[in-house]
Amino acid sequence: SIEEAMSDITEQSQLLLLQQSRLGRKLQDGMLALRMVRFNDVVGRLRRIVRQVGDEMGRNAELIIHNGETELDRVTIVGLLPSLEHMIRNSLAHGIESPDERRVLGKPEVGQIEITIESAGGNVTLEMKDDGRGLDLDAIRRKAGCHSSQGG
């Protein structure tokens, strides 16, 4: 009968739509997986920056990564790299002391720069810290005073 044929066609159409939807999801998941890279994949580049800048500035430091297996979108990591490199340079220039200074302060000669990556609910948090002296607030205030008096 026509009704049975229509019912069969409707059922087959629904099955095909369901299969198409599943395939679409699998394709989307596969494409997303291709875009994802582990943070550890860029750590070699960051360690080279630590070594090169440390050599230029007479500072010794090691880069420690926590949760480096965390996956991030490739575009996100590429976008973060210049900022991370800049922060590493700042740690070496303004935080980590020279080996002699560290020895006098009772610290190991090799400083530590740590990066921790946390991922939860689609959000990624990145924390960077070093075991250096910290910011010289007096020098910052002096420099800020110099700039404001020159500018105004």
Q: What pLDDT is attached to residue 53?
A: 96
Instruction: Tell me which of 50 and 146 has the higher pLDDT.
Output: 50
As a whole number, the mean pLDDT across the chain is 89
Distance of CA 11 to the CA centre of its chain: 49
**All structural domains of the chain with their residue ranges:** 37-151
pLDDT digits (tens, 9 = 90+) for 102-129: 999 999 999 999 999 998 887 889 999 9
Mean pLDDT calculated for residue range 24-51: 87
pTM, full prediction: 0.71
Confidence band of 40 (pLDDT split at 50, 70, 90)? very high
Q: What pLDDT is attached to residue 151?
A: 45
Q: Indicate if the pLDDT at residue 27 is higher than 90.
A: no
Residues 6 or more apart whose CB falls under 8 angstroms from that of 33 comprise: none
Integer Cα distance of 148 and 135 in angstroms: 20
Integer Cα distance of 91 and 101 in angstroms: 15
CB 115 within 8 A of CB 66: yes
Q: What pLDDT is attached to residue 29?
A: 75
CATH number of the structural domain 37-151 = 3.30.565.10
In three-state secondary structure terms, 132 is coil
